Amino acid sequence: MTHTLVLASQSPRRQELLAQIGYVFSCEPANINEDIKENENAVDYVQRLAIEKAQATYHSIGAPQNNDVVVLGSDTSVVYNHCILGKPANLDECITQLQMLSGQTHQVLTSIAAVNLDKVLSKVVTTEVTFKTLTLDEITRYWHTGEPQDKAGSYGIQGIAGQFVTNITGSYSAVVGLPLFETAQLLSKFGVNTPIQLISKENI
């Protein structure tokens, strides 16, 4: 059976990562409320958002009455000392966030969720990232590159900020926005396979 895969995101980074491992898909961004609920921890937050994004897109495309359509949602949060760091609204917020991360190890939580007519499955991937000590001048100059403005935690590891990272434990692609191994494993449970997975099954 051929399945239609829909990515519930307009993130160029997630699109590039999903295409990188051979998936063919369309994009239909989800419009949901991303506010943190009272007493909601970071794991629950990213998991809820990934599921809600996938479900919102599934319904926005007409809630197909068969299992031919699978929607993939994802959400990424940068967490330091149990505090979720969102996208900075201005230079001051960027400075505050990056000074928190300077010389420290923080967590990046990325959740993926897949939805079809019958089921919803999700997984949260945690990666630890350690930064070198940053000066105020470095942070200010980084802000003016334009890169931090739309990034959770005020940085993009795949860009200029890659030079800040002294160590990473876990999935690099999850920090960018989509954990490749876990995504392929999750989608295979819906019968949505990469070309490599298809070849492997055919050769068995």
Position 204 scores a pLDDT of 39
Q: How far, in Å, CA of 115 to CA of 131, rounded?
A: 35
Measured from the Cβ of residue 127, the count of other Cβ atoms closer than 10 Å reads 20
Least confident of 1-15, 79-93, 157-171: 1-15
| Mean pLDDT, residues 76-96 taken together | 96
Residues spanned by the domain of 112: 4-202
pLDDT in tens, 64-78: 888 899 999 999 999
Active site residue 75: yes
Whole-number mean pLDDT of the chain?
94
What the block records as the tokens of 111 is 């959740």
The one catalytic residue in 68, 75, 137, 150 is: 75
Predicted pLDDT at 199: 59
State mean pLDDT over 24-45. Answer: 94
Q: What is the 3-state secondary structure (H, E, C) of 128-144?
A: EEEECCCCHHHHHHHHC
pLDDT value, residue 46 = 97
Residue 79 sits in a domain whose CATH number is 3.90.950.10
Between 114 and 66, residue with greater pLDDT: 114
Give the pLDDT confidence of 123-154 residue by residue, as tens digits.
999 999 999 999 999 999 999 999 999 899 99
How high is the pLDDT of residue 79?
97
Domain count, the chain: 1
Give mean pLDDT, residues 87-107.
97
